[in-house]
């Protein structure tokens, strides 16, 4: 690409970054209270929350990790997207309404606080454990996103990965801290639109490029070997079962255990907005997932294995190679958008975990609305700086970082959500045991040889579920219904 083309791309990316900052500045001038900063104060439309939830969920992993994985594996990569899609369907069709109603019933702003009021006898321990673990794993998530921005900028312009990560991270920290949930959701809405646009334009252009060069999709996949041209990757028996379980395991993390996603459900205003949001989320997901799969497959046809140094950079490479500069700039902004939306939402998770769940609720430090917002902003800045440090010292790929956090946080708390919402015999001790077992098993399993057979994303969920059931039966809360009612009045 020539110098003029590079200038156009850089200009569009700068414009996009300035827009996100502008949204943050706009909401920083608003008089935000605690409800506004954490959940938007029930003022946000359902369609915007749906866009925000989807943009937050599909981060650097979707644009870089998942597309890169499909580029390398071929047709069998579809099972990752299938598991994720089923998880999205379940969360919006069955969990969103429960989260919305439970938040209103108990007047809470965070997932740890919701768990604590559901089991008031052990509420303090549950809130503290949940906040600490969510905050810790969210830092890994944030670091993964910051690393993704650095890699993306490097692939586009050759900007040093370290400096690229730091520059974008500072922008994310700035607009997130200024406007809290309000600015994050509205920047997500812009980002979500760009993401859809990317996964519509790139596969179409790539397909025409394949046709114009008279390339065979099936022939190219067959030439890759390793079962790339087969939907099950040429696997049979136990190997096939392990592959499907590992790929479908992303499903479990969508079952309410990701606080950055469940907060969007909790922010829904009413049933009408929920129904609108559900349809928007499902249609958005279909478009993006189909587009991501096609980009990975078409990329493997156009660029033989080994020609791209880093498989996770196949999408940015295709954008620069196949699209005119003015379109490439928009699509590359979409990749940054995906990364930034997740990072900003994860920063809010860390912020709420520390300022609301630990400082305000667990430690019992009394603060008015103005002070809570001030403490939250400073907490977010500190969390962002910690994320930058982790991203710079970690050598993990985006896939690995997100996969680890998905198991340790998403699967652990998905088990807690299902037990809490759908099994009346769940006890406070059972919830504590679930959280502790999830944290420990995610770390140990990921580090063990078992990870190569079955991913921790699958094993952690089932370990948590079994432990939660066993400990709930051994240590029941006989008065759970009464204590829940009391907690509602007290809270």
pLDDT tens across 423-435, in order? 999 999 999 999 9
pLDDT at residue 483 is higher than 70: no
Query: What is the per-residue pLDDT for 30?
Result: 75
Q: What are 419's two structure tokens?
A: 């037990």
Query: What is the per-residue pLDDT for 402?
Result: 63
C-alpha distance from residue 147 to each of 184, 191, 403, 404 (Å):
20, 18, 15, 15
Mean pLDDT check: name the lowest of 62-66, 71-75, 172-176: 62-66
Burial of 394 (0-12, 13-18, 19+ CB in 10 A): middle
Query: What is the per-residue pLDDT for 100?
Result: 95
Q: Report how far residue 159's alpha carbon sits from residue 316's, in angstroms, rounded to the nearest whole number.
A: 14
State in words which class domain 3-397 has: mainly alpha
Q: Report how far residue 58's alpha carbon sits from residue 56's, in angstroms, rounded to the nearest whole number.
A: 6
Average pLDDT, the chain: 85
Q: Report how far residue 398's alpha carbon sits from residue 342's, in angstroms, rounded to the nearest whole number.
A: 13
**315: nearest Cα among 53, 70, 15, 4:** 70
pLDDT tens column, 20-71: 888 878 877 777 777 888 888 888 999 999 999 998 888 767 877 789 999 9
Query: What is the per-residue pLDDT for 479?
Result: 60
Q: Report how far residue 379's alpha carbon sits from residue 426's, in angstroms, rounded to the nearest whole number.
A: 33
pLDDT higher for 108 or 362? 108
Mean pLDDT check: name the lowest of 92-96, 154-158, 230-234: 154-158
pLDDT higher for 326 or 468? 468
> What is the DSSP secondary-structure string of 61-121?
IIIIIIHHHHHHH-GGGHHHHHHHHHHHHHIIIIIHHHHHHHHHHHT-SSHHHHHHHHSGG
Kindly indicate the confidence band of residue 297, based on its pLDDT and cuts at 50, 70 and 90. Answer: very high
pLDDT higher for 26 or 199? 199
Mean pLDDT check: name the lowest of 91-100, 126-135, 349-358, 395-404: 395-404
Measured at the CA of 110, the angle between CA 107 and CA 111, to 5 degrees, comes to 110
**63: nearest Cα among 302, 342, 251, 326:** 342
Q: What are 297's two structure tokens?
A: 């497959």
- Mean pLDDT of the region 372-381: 84
Query: What is the per-residue pLDDT for 48?
Result: 94
3-state SS, one letter per residue, for 168-217: HHHHHHHHHHHHHHHHHHHHHHHHHHHHHHHHHHHHHHHHHHHHHCCCCH
Query: What is the per-residue pLDDT for 443?
Result: 83
Q: Report how far residue 231's alpha carbon sits from residue 229's, in angstroms, rounded to the nearest whole number.
A: 7
Query: What is the per-residue pLDDT for 490?
Result: 44
Query: What is the per-residue pLDDT for 145?
Result: 76
Query: What is the per-residue pLDDT for 308?
Result: 84
pLDDT at residue 233 is higher than 70: yes
- Mean pLDDT of the region 68-97: 93
Query: What is the per-residue pLDDT for 488?
Result: 44
């Amino acid at each position: 690409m020539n110098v003029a083309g590079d200038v156009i791309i850089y200009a569009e990316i700068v414009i996009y970054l300035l827009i996100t900052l502008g949204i943050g500045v706009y909401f920083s001038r608003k008089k935000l209270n605690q409800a506004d900063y954490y959940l938007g104060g029930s003022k946000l439309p359902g369609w915007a929350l749906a866009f925000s939830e989807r943009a937050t969920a599909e981060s650097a992993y979707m644009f870089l990790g998942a597309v890169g994985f499909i580029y390398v594996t071929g047709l069998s990569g579809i099972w990752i997207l299938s598991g994720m899609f089923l998880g999205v369907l379940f969360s919006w069709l069955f969990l969103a309404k429960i989260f919305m109603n439970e938040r209103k019933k108990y007047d809470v702003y965070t997932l740890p606080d919701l768990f604590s009021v559901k089991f008031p006898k052990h509420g303090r321990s549950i809130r503290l454990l949940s906040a600490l673990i969510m905050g810790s794993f969210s830092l890994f998530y944030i670091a993964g996103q910051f690393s993704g921005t650095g890699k993306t900028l490097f692939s586009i312009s050759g900007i040093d990965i370290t400096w690229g990560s730091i520059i974008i991270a500072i922008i994310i920290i700035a607009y997130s801290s200024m406007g809290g949930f309000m600015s994050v959701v509205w920047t997500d809405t812009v980002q979500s639109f760009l993401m859809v646009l990317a996964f519509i334009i790139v596969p179409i252009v790539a397909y025409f490029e394949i046709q114009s060069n008279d390339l065979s999709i099936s022939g190219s996949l067959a030439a890759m070997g390793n079962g790339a041209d087969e939907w099950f990757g040429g696997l049979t028996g136990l190997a096939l079962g392990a592959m499907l379980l590992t790929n479908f395991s992303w499903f479990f993390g969508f079952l309410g255990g990701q606080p950055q996603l469940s907060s969007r459900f909790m922010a829904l205003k009413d049933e009408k907005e929920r129904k609108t949001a559900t349809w928007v989320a499902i249609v958005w997901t279909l478009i993006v997932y189909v587009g991501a799969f096609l980009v990975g497959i078409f990329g493997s046809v156009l660029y033989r294995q080994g020609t791209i140094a880093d498989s996770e950079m196949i999408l940015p490479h295709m954008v620069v190679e196949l699209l005119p500069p003015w379109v490439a700039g928009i699509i590359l902004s979409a990749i940054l958008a995906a990364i930034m939306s997740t990072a900003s939402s994860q920063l809010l998770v860390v912020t709420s975990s520390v300022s609301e769940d630990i400082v305000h609720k667990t430690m019992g430090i009394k603060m008015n609305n103005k002070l809570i917002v001030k403490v939250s902003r400073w907490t977010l800045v500190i969390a962002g700086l910690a994320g930058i440090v982790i991203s710079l010292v970690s050598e993990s790929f985006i896939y690995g970082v997100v996969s680890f956090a998905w198991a340790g946080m998403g699967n652990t708390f998905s088990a807690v959500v299902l037990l809490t919402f759908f099994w009346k015999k769940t006890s406070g001790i059972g919830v504590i045991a679930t959280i502790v077992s999830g944290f420990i098993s995610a770390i140990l399993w990921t580090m063990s040889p078992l990870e190569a057979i079955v991913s921790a994303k699958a094993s952690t969920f089932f370990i948590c579920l079994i432990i939660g059931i066993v400990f709930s039966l051994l240590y029941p809360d006989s008065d759970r219904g009464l204590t829940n009612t009391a907690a509602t009045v007290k809270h």
